[in-house]
Structure 1
Amino acid sequence: MKKIAALFLLALLILIQSCTTAIIDEGSVSDLEPIDRTVTYQSDVKAIMDNYCITCHGGPAPQGSLDLTTFSNTQNAALSRNLVERMNSQTNPMPPNGRLNPQILQLIDKWVEDGLLEQQ
């Protein structure tokens, strides 16, 4: 029984840590050179979701009932669930421990600007 409790505690600690591994904001998107190519889900956004979002917003019971594991779910969240606004928020960012770095936010913003494309 002690082994099961220890494994559960370890799994819980890993889950909590994985939800708090954002790259803290270092500057502003406006400080960056503009992206001169089309940004798509497959080439850019999927990796961001996989690396920073699906630990909490994936699996059988995603937080806030927001599953970001697929293109259509992520596109829908950007269109109707304030995903981009939360990622860019100074006061209530996603991830909750701090905004992602400006380069990542710039890619997300450009994806929206380019029309939320899945691929080219």
Structure 2
Amino acid sequence: MKKLIQSTIALLMSIFLLSCSSAEISDPDTTPVDPPSEKTTYEKDVKTLINNSCATSACHDSDNPQAGLPLTNYTQVRNAAENGNLINRINSSSNPMPPTGQNSTIITIINQWKNDGYLEN
């Protein structure tokens, strides 16, 4: 009886191994998948924020020379961000912009725009 059980186990193992050896394993799809791009851009995220919070007629528009820093287009806003004027002021706790106090939405969006490389579109 013991010999019969051993023979049966050996037969089953042989069948199992033979069936496994002929099976093909397909390679997984190795095509790179780009993660979704949700980069912060001037046109999509920054422009309206700056227009509503900074480039008003009393502040950083082109008609207000007292401000000394017009923020009415991509080039002006990017230059202000890159040279530190915009970034430093929105992050300042002692002399913040806007002067009414820090706005976490502005800070988050402008800092993310900087981190994403000041994209326009």
Equivalences, count:
83
* Structure 2 match to 1:68: 71
Kindly indicate whether structure 1 or structure 2 has the higher relative contact order, using CA contacts under 8 Å at least 6 residues apart.
1
TM-score w.r.t. the length of structure 2 is 0.63
- For the 8 Å contact 2:62–2:71, the answer to whether it is kept is no
- Residue 105 of structure 1 and its aligned partner are, at CA, apart by 1.4
**Cα distance change, pair 106–67 in 1 and its aligned pair in 2 (3 A):** same
- Segments of structure 1 that go 5 or more residues without pairing to the other structure are 1-35
The alignment status of 1:109 with 2:111, answered yes or no, reads yes
Q: Deviations over 1:19-58 (max 9, x none)?
A: xxxxxxxxxxxxxxxxx82000000000111110011000
Query: What is the one-letter code of the residue matched to 1:96?
Result: P
Residue matched to 1:23: none
Give the Cα–Cα distance (whole angstroms) in 2 for the partners of residues 89 and 45 of structure 1: 19
Percent same amino acid among aligned pairs? 43
RMSD: 1.5
Counterparts of 1:98 and 1:57 in 2: how far apart (Å)? Answer: 16
Question: Structure 1 pair 111/88, CA: closer, same or farther in 2 (3 Å)?
Answer: same
User: 1:47 and 2:71 equivalent?
Assistant: no
Report deviation, 1:81.
Answer: 4.5
The structure with the larger Rg is 2
Quote how far apart the aligned CAs of 1:78 are: 0.5
Letter of the aligned partner of 1:80 in structure 2? Answer: N
Tell me the amino acid that sits aligned with residue 50 of structure 2.
M
